[in-house]
């Protein structure tokens, strides 16, 4: 596959949070437990150096389940930014799986909100995530979606994903034509 962008980078790259940008600690409300995924800092630095906007789209059902407070989620996000730098948008769904909201992945609400907030069309947006609901949300929003599997990613999710990358740096390479990958 050649890069999706023939001469330029995408305008916006959205990342899933847990398992994609940071190690997945279920219902994490403790900033001290935040650990970036391998390659995350370098990928973000490379995107920002090229003027690409970045954002996070994350389901945080622990809020709806009473396992987390919004203040804890915000504290974790502050720690992520301390470690990985600032993001142009944070989109958080605090709802549970049965709440029927339009924002919870695999629904496209957070992606569409991020694009609208930043004025970037979906055609210039990429979503990178580690599970099927991330990819399905991206597809529903009409953005280019890349699955970066982790040990929790199921085999059928990998088999059905339209684009799979071994890790975050490999996902970034998929976005570019070969001559720009340096």
Decide: residue 113, CB within 10 A, 0-12 exposed, 13-18 middle, 19+ buried.
Answer: middle
pLDDT at 13 over 80: yes
In a domain, 118, yes or no: no
**Are 33 and 79 spatial neighbours (Cβ–Cβ below 8 Å)?**
no
pLDDT at position 2 is 40
What does residue 36 show for φ and ψ, rounded to 5 degrees? -60, 150
Q: What's the rounded mean pLDDT across residues 99-117?
A: 97
75 lies in some domain: yes
Q: Is the predicted pLDDT of residue 182 greater than 50, yes or no?
A: no
Q: Is residue 174 part of a domain?
A: yes
Longest dimension (CA), the chain: 49
pLDDT the model gives residue 1: 37
pLDDT of 181 higher than 50:
no
Confidence (pTM): 0.93
Give the mean pLDDT of 80-84: 98
- Distances in Å between the Cα of 71 and the Cα atoms of 89, 110, 160, 169 are 17, 20, 36, 31
- Let me know how long the chain is: 182
Of 48, 43, 10, 46, the C-alpha closest to 126 is 10
Q: Residue 145: inside a domain, yes or no? A: yes
Each residue's pLDDT tens digit, 36-51: 999 999 999 999 999 9
Which residues belong to the active site? 16, 18
**Is the model's pLDDT at 119 over the cut of 80?**
yes
Query: Has residue 143 been placed in a domain?
Result: yes
Enter the tokens of residue 140.
């529903």
What span, in angstroms and rounded, lies between the C-alpha atoms of 75 and 100?
26
Residue 92 lies in a domain: yes
The predicted structure's pLDDT at residue 8:
59
CATH code (residue 83): 3.40.50.1000
- Domain containing 137: what range? 14-113+130-151+160-180
Note whether residue 9 is domain-resident: no
> What's the total number of domains in the chain?
1
**Is residue 169 included in any domain, yes or no?**
yes
SS (H, E, C) the chain: CCCCCCCCCCCEEEECCECCCECCCCCCCCHHHCCECCCHHHHHHHHHHCCCEEEEEEECHHHHCCCCCHHHHHHHHHHHHHHHCCCCEEEEECCCCCCCCCCCCCCCHHHHHHHHHHCCCHHHEEEEECCHHHHHHHHHHCCEEEECCCCCCCHHHHHHCCCECCCHHHHHHHCCCHHHCC
């Amino acid at each position: 596959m050649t890069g999706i962008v023939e001469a330029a980078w995408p305008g916006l790259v959205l990342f899933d949070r847990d398992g994609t940008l940071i190690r997945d600690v279920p219902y994490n409300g403790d900033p001290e437990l935040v650990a970036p995924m391998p390659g995350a800092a370098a990928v973000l630095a490379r995107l920002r150096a090229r003027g690409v906007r970045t954002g996070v789209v994350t389901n945080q059902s622990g809020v709806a389940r009473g396992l987390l407070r919004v203040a804890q989620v915000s504290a974790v996000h502050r720690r992520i930014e301390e470690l990985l730098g600032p993001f142009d948008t944070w989109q958080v769904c605090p709802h549970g799986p049965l709440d029927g909201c339009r924002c919870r992945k695999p629904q496209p609400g957070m992606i569409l909100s991020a694009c609208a907030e930043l004025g970037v069309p979906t055609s210039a947006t990429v979503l990178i995530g580690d599970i099927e609901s991330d990819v399905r949300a991206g597809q529903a929003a009409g953005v280019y979606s890349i699955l970066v599997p982790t040990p929790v990613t199921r085999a059928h999710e990998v088999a059905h994903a339209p684009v799979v990358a071994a890790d975050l740096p490999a996902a970034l390479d998929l976005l570019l034509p070969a001559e720009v990958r340096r």
